[in-house]
Amino acid sequence: MIPTEDASARKRVIEDKLKQEQETLSFIRESLEKSDQLTKGMVSILSSFESRLMQLENSIIPVHKQTENLQRLQENVDKTLSCMDHVISYYHVAKDTDKIIREGPSGRLDEYLACIAKIQKAVEYFQDNNPDSPELNTVKARFEKGKELLEAEFRGQLTRYSKPVPPVLILDAIGGDEDMEVQEDVMLEHLPEAALQDIICISAWLVEYGRNQDFMNVYFQVRSSQLDRSIKGLKEHFRKNSASSAIHSPAVQTKRKETPTKKAPKRPVYIPGTIRKAQNLLKQYSQHGLDGKKGSNLTPLEGKDDVLDIEIDSYIHCISAFVKLAQSEYALLTEIIPEHHQKKTFDSLIQEALDNLMLEGDNIISAARRAIMRHDYSAVLTIFPILRHLKQTKPDFDVTLQGTAASTKNKLPALITSMETIGAKALEEFADSIKNDPDKEYNMPKDGTVHELTSNAILFLQQLLDFQETAGAMLASQESSSSASSYSSEFSRRLLSTYIYKVLGNLQLNLSNKAKVYEDPALRAVFLHNNYNYILKSLEKSELIQLVAVTHKKVESSYRELIEQEIQNYQRSWLKVTEHLTERNIPAFQPGTKLKDKERQIIKDKFKGFNEGLEELCKIQKGWAVPDKEQRDAIRQAQKTVVSDAYKAFLQRCANISFTKNPEKYHRYAPEQVEEMIDKLFDTSA
C-alpha cells in the first residue's frame, strides 16, 4: 500500500502539469485565431491587387501594341530611305569617279582602286536589278577604262623601273672571295620597293577582278628584255676592258647579305692567255706540217688571240650570269605572277637570253668545226674551258629551269653533247695527225734537237691536265656501249690515259720515220734521243706520267730504255775513231827492234785514221744539240772515258816504237786535248 503522502505529492505534480498544458493549449488557440485573421486580411489585399493589375493590363496592352506598330513603321521608313539613298548613289557613281578615273592611278593607287571598287559594285547592281538601263553601259565603260589605265600603269611602272643589272654587280653576284670560308650572297634588286608593291597590287587586282592575263605577257616581255640586256651589258663590259681588270675590278664591291650556311657560287675559273701559247704553237705546227710553209714565216696574231681569250672568258661568265639572273628573276616573278602561271611565264621570260647564249655556243662549235677541218686542232682548247664550265653549271641550270618546257630544259644538254662530240673528234683527229705528219727534210732540225711535232704534241697533252674530267668525258661520250650513261669518272680517266698513250705511241712511230731522213746514223740517234728525253722529262714535270700510268705503268721505264738505246746507237759513231786504236794489225815487236816499212805504215795509218776521225766527228757533232744539260754531260763523260782510255792505251803501246822521224806529225793530240775536244761536242759556241 502506497503511503498517503507520496500519493498526494504525485497528484499535485500531475495537476501542475495539466494546468501548464491547458495554458499552452489556450495560447495556441489564440495564435491560430490571430493567424486566421491575418490570412483573411492578406487574401483580401491580394485579391484587391490582382483586380487592379487586371485593370492596368487591360489599359496598357492596347497602347503597347500601337507603339510597337509605330516603331516598326518608323524602321521601315528608315530602311526605305537608306535603300533609296544607296540605289541613288549607283546612279551618281560614274559622275563621282569621272575625275579620278580620267587622271589615272599614278601616285594614288589606293584611292584609284577604291574608285574602281565603287564602279564594279555599280555594275553588279545594274546587272542584277536593271540590266536594260543606260546607266549599266555607262559604268561598264567606266570600269573598262579604269582597267585599261591600270594595265597601262602596270606596263609603265614595270618599264620605267626595269633597268639592266650593272656588269660589276653581276660579276660580284656570281663571284665572291674564293678564299673565304663563309661566302656572302649579293642581293640583286630589280625594282624599287615602292614600285614593286604597286605592281604587286595591280597584278593582284587584274587577276581577281580584271579577268585579264595580258599583263603577264607584258611582264615577261619587259623582264625578258632586261635579262637579255643585262647579259649583253656584261659581254660588252668584257670587250671594253681587259679580262683581268674585268674580273678583279675593285668597283665590284657592293653591300652583301651574309649567308653562313650556304656558299655563293664561285666565279668561273678561267685565266686568259693560259692556252694562247699552245694555240699559237699548234696553229704554227698545223699550217707548217700540212701546207708546206716554213714556221719562220708564220707570225701568231696576238691581238686576235687576246680577243679570243676575252670572248671565252666573257661567254663563261655570261653562262653563270644567266643562272644567277634567272634565279633572281624567278624570285621576283613569284611575287607578281599568280602561282599557276609562274612556270609558263618564267619559261617565256628566259627564252631570248637563253637562245642567245645557246646560239653563241653553237657559233663556238661551228668555229671549232671549221678549224678542225683546216687541221687546226688548237680549236679544241677553246672548247675545253667552256665545256667544263657548262658541265659544272648544269646542276644549277637544271634547278633553275625546273618546271619549264622540255625543249627549254634540253637546250644546255644538247649544247654540251655537241661540244663533247666536236671535242672528241678533234682529239681523235689530232692523234691521227701526229701519226700521219709527213716526213719533210727541210722541216727536220739540222742539229738533231727536239722536233716541233714533239713539242706541240706534248704541249697539247699538257693542256689536258687542266681538263682531265672534261677530256675524259669527251672520249667517253663517243663510246657506243649501252652503258654509256653510267660511265664513272674513273672510267673516263682510264680512257684519257689510253688516249694519251696512243698519242705518245703515234708520236714515237712518226719520230722513228722522220729520223730516217738523216743520212748520218749518229745524228739520227741524237735526234731520237733528244725527242724521247724531252717527252719523258715533259711527262714527269707535268704529271702526265701519273695519268699515263693509270693504264700503262711501264711507260717511264720504256722511255728510259729507248733513251739508253739511242745513246748506244750514237756511241757507235765513235767506233770509226776507236777502231784505229785497237791492237788489230799492230805487229809484235821487241823494244829497240827496227820495224819494217809496212809495219811502220800500219802505225802511221792508225794515228792518221784516229786524228782525222776525231777531228771530223768533233767538227760535225759540235753543231749538233743535246739541250738537256744532264744528258749532254753524261754523253760527253761516257765518250771521254771510252776514247781517252783507248787512246791512252794505244799511246802506251806505241811509246817505245820508232815508226817515224816526225812523231809530232802523227801524235797531234795529248789525251787531255782529246778530252777537251769531246767536251766541246754539242756546243755551237765552242
Determine the residue type at 638. Answer: A
Q: What pLDDT does 16 receive?
A: 87
Q: What pLDDT does 132 receive?
A: 64
The arithmetic mean of pLDDT across residues 29-51, rounded, is 87
Q: C-alpha distances in angstroms, 638 versus 526, 570, 618, 675?
A: 15, 11, 15, 11
Highest mean pLDDT (candidates 202-216, 302-316, 472-486): 202-216
Higher pLDDT, 131 or 288: 131
pLDDT reading at 292 higher than 60: no
Q: What pLDDT does 348 receive?
A: 93
126 burial (CB, 10 Å; 0-12 / 13-18 / 19+) is: buried
The arithmetic mean of pLDDT across residues 136-157, rounded, is 79
DSSP 8-state assignment for residue 586? P
Distance CA 281, CA 456 (A): 6
Higher pLDDT, 388 or 305: 388
Nearest Cα neighbor of 113 from 197, 209, 212 is: 209
The arithmetic mean of pLDDT across residues 123-129, rounded, is 67
Per residue, the 3-state secondary structure of 387-434, as one string, reads: HHHHHHHHHHHHHHCCCCCHHHHCHHHHHHHHHHHHHHHHHHHHHHHH
Contacts 24+ apart (CB under 8 A), 185-190: 185/256, 185/257, 185/258, 185/259, 185/262, 185/264, 186/254, 186/255, 186/256, 186/257, 186/264, 187/255, 187/256, 187/257, 188/324, 188/325, 188/328, 190/162, 190/165, 190/223, 190/226, 190/328, 190/329, 190/332
The arithmetic mean of pLDDT across residues 671-685, rounded, is 84
The arithmetic mean of pLDDT across residues 24-38, rounded, is 89
Q: What pLDDT does 683 receive?
A: 74
Distance CA 524, CA 535 (A): 17
Chain segment 381-390, per-residue pLDDT in tens = 888 999 999 9
Give me the phi and psi of 148, to 5 degrees please: -60, -40
The arithmetic mean of pLDDT across residues 243-271, rounded, is 39
Q: What pLDDT does 234 receive?
A: 92
pLDDT reading at 447 higher than 50: yes
DSSP 8-state assignment for residue 186? P
The arithmetic mean of pLDDT across residues 216-237, rounded, is 92
Of the pLDDT bands very low, low, confident and very high (cuts 50, 70, 90), residue 90 is low
Least confident of 95-104, 258-267, 476-485: 258-267
Distance CA 117, CA 362 (A): 53
Q: What pLDDT does 586 receive?
A: 65
Q: What pLDDT does 438 receive?
A: 83
Q: What pLDDT does 307 receive?
A: 60
Of the pLDDT bands very low, low, confident and very high (cuts 50, 70, 90), residue 511 is very high
Q: State the chain's maximal CA–CA distance in angstroms.
A: 216
570 burial (CB, 10 Å; 0-12 / 13-18 / 19+) is: buried
Q: What pLDDT does 390 receive?
A: 94
Q: What pLDDT does 294 receive?
A: 34
The cell for 279 is: 694555240
168 near 229, Cβ under 8 Å?
Answer: no
The cell for 38 is: 491575418
Give me the phi and psi of 189, to 5 degrees please: -105, 110
The arithmetic mean of pLDDT across residues 331-335, rounded, is 92
pLDDT reading at 456 higher than 70: yes
Nearest Cα neighbor of 402 from 321, 363, 346 is: 346
Q: What pLDDT does 527 receive?
A: 95
Higher pLDDT, 120 or 37: 37
SS3 668: coil
pLDDT reading at 440 higher than 90: no
Mean pLDDT of all residues belonging to the chain: 79
Least confident of 12-16, 556-560, 666-670: 666-670
426 burial (CB, 10 Å; 0-12 / 13-18 / 19+) is: buried
Q: The whole model's pTM is what?
A: 0.72
